[in-house]
Amino acid sequence: MSKILVVDSDAEEREVARRSLCGASYEVVLVHTPDDVAGIVLVEAAELIVLAVDFPGLASFELYRRLRRDVLVSTIPIILLSEKNDMGECVRGLEMGAEDCISKPINPMELVLRTRKILRRPIQPEFFLQLIVCPWELPSLGITFGSGGNASPVRDVLLKVPGVRHVVVEQTWEPSWNSNRLTDEGRRKLGL
């Protein structure tokens, strides 16, 4: 079941979105303030964000811009909710890179259909990240190991990042390693 984050200060619109998306078998997390939305997206592992364009106290599209600048959530698709019948906001949002835009008041069927369309798209990797971390740095990142250097904690943490589908952890524990210390599989992967 896909998880969707609905971010809107309007309680009625949040409830319409919740009912329609839950009725279509999506798991929905409601957020009413722009505070730490990126963190909530990561914790909840949301696959889609339905985001109001305007929030009290913020310039139009400010929260959208913040999310797109955050490398950990920038690849999560966003459907914008524009103010009542404001086609200009939708055009601007689409030009900025939003996946879709819906005018308020939310039409439940339109929201569900547009959500399905976006979530059916194959995920295109936008980047490949190679992370090199020395073992003694891992505790400062909140990652601890049991005996034997088990890679599962690293893999588990990285798999919680939205958009990450596969994690390969190759590791060596001593700075003085060389290819003679690799397993046959490790040598094969490195072409040695």
Q: For residues 98 and 172, which has the higher predicted lDDT (pLDDT)?
A: 98
Residues 87 and 167 occupy one common structural domain:
no
Cα distance between residue 60 and residue 92, in whole Å: 10
Task: Establish if 126 belongs to a structural domain.
Answer: no
Residues 151 and 106 occupy one common structural domain:
no
Tokens of 72: 């950990």
Domain count, the chain: 2
- CATH number of the structural domain spanning residue 47: 3.40.50.2300
Last residue of a domain, one of 70, 94, 120: 120
130-139: burial string, b at 16+ Cβ within 10 Å, e else: eeeeeeeeee
Q: Provide the pLDDT confidence category of residue 179 given band limits of 50, 70 and 90.
A: very low
State the Cα angle at 28 between 121 and 94, rounded to 5°.
Answer: 45
Provide the 10 A C-beta neighbour count for residue 76. 21
Domain ranges, residue 20: 3-120
Residues 90 and 148 occupy one common structural domain:
no
Residues 161 and 106 occupy one common structural domain:
no
Q: Find out whether 116 and 50 touch, Cβ atoms under 8 Å.
A: no
Which of 39, 36, 18 has its CA nearest to residue 28? 18
Q: Find out whether 48 and 119 touch, Cβ atoms under 8 Å.
A: yes
pLDDT tens-digit series, residues 65-82: 888 888 778 888 999 998
What global pTM score does this model have? 0.64
